[in-house]
Amino acid sequence: MIIRDSLYIDGAWVSPSGSDTLDVIDSTTEEVFATIPAGTSADIDRAVQAASRAFPGWAATPAKDRGAFIQKMAEGLQARAGEIADVISHEVGMPRSFTETFQVGLPMGEFADNAARAASYNWQEEIGNSLVIKEPVGVVGAITPWNFPLYQIALKVAPALAAGCTVVLKPSEVAPINAFILAEIIHEVGLPKGVFNLVTGLGPVVGEAIAAHPLVDKVSFTGSTRAGKRVMEICAQSIKRVSLEMGGKSANIILEDADLAAAVPAGVFGCYLNSGQVCSAPTRMLVPRSKLAEVEQLAATAAAGFAPGDPFAATTGIGPLVSAVQRDKVRDYIKKGVQEGATLVAGGAEAPEGLEKGFFIQPTVFSNVSNDMTIAREEIFGPVLSIIPFDTEEEAIEIANDTDYGLSGGVWAGTQEHAIEVAQRLRTGQVDVNGGGFNPLAPFGGYKKSGIGRERGAFGFEEFLEVKAIQR
């Protein structure tokens, strides 16, 4: 068992102010995998004070030098990639065959990208008689989730450090060990003390202390819409800058002239990636009513290819959910879908055969779902696909936009031009057309209750900058 009994504050591993600890549960065995400190508001105050002291010096450090530190962090992640991948498969349950690419490769790329951007960014420009300069926003509080734990940390820590900000990180207490490894890497590269700080603990304690602290200039949060609302409420009391990346209920529109044989399996894969624990997952598949039976068959066949099992087994197509709470929540949604009259095409609420231990869910497909059903309205965060029939293209667009969320989406059509035309009418932050590939440099974020602000690439970097105009 892994025991972490220290926090990383002001360039050193220090004892927490309290004695309480939190258990980290292995999602496959249901046994305690690790323990971590349950940090307090006093720990956050120590960390924020350290970050505030460090800010002037770090902001004044030449950007290319900041970039050199961040590049070393990317190299440190690469050197420990296998170890980190193992840890995250234990914490989150993603199959080990995917983890190194998605859960470690993407964070490495984010650090490397921001290392390069710090050195090449145009920090000032002339506009008329004004010199417009970009400056770091200050002390950043980063609050991150458990589903892509290290990547979500990287999406905040890497651009914040590159911009010249200092950071206090509160990772998810459900999947925190990867954050301790990152802190070790940061310590080893010799980052000035106080520039990066790590405090673990519960959201209502540590997260709220970050949002409320008067010396925190910006909070960058990823998590549930409910928790994001709370963060925003607290930040409003001090008019603090805030970025929120929250829930999603993304629609994947498959039009009449689309290639069903390509579109349906791709949509199922997107829905089931990381056991469906993806905020941008295309969980609503909108299909022509005339093609419904064909789509059901294709979706059932695709779902059957996702064999649940031990994340470390080579044959596993889908691992467990992250926790008992999440498993029970998803089971309740599946039961609700049946109760409200949706057609169960594949899966169900029962544990997969032979997997009564572990937080496993059967890959599930519902059809004949109407957009007013609970499973079509609320974010399930599990491997549950809802197939919703439509009669016209206009109706499909209306259904796709009839949601509280607006994070991602997809459109499949006979031509790229047609798909892009429909994509432009969707009220959502990202849209993949005809299976367009993932782009780690493209801005990511949502409309409506999916959030405020953007992450990744230049857009994510600029979230950590202030703009000053000097008239001459």
Q: Which are the catalytic amino acids?
A: 245, 279
In angstroms, the CA 182 to CA 198 distance is 10
Torsion of CA 327, 328, 332, 335, to 10 degrees: 70
3-state helix, strand, coil in the chain (%, to 5): 45, 20, 35
* Cβ atoms within 10 Å, residue 9: 26
Residue 172 exposure: Cα atoms within 13 Å on the Cβ side:
25
In angstroms, the CA 187 to CA 158 distance is 15
* Cβ atoms within 10 Å, residue 246: 27
Task: Tell me the two tokens of residue 83.
Answer: 């170890």
* Burial state string for 131-152 with b = 16 or more CB within 10 A and e = fewer than 16: eeebebbbbbbbbbbbbbbbbb
Secondary structure E strands in 38-152: 124-127, 130-136, 139-143
Q: Which long-range contacts link 150-153 to residues 24+ away (Cβ below 8 Å)?
A: 150/84, 150/88, 150/103, 150/104, 150/107, 150/178, 150/179, 150/182, 151/102, 151/103, 151/106, 151/107, 151/110, 152/222, 153/107, 153/178, 153/179, 153/182
**Burial tier of 122 (Cβ tally within 10 Å: 0-12, 13-18, 19+):** exposed
Handedness of CA 406, 408, 414, 419 (dihedral sign): positive
Amino acid letter, residue 314: A
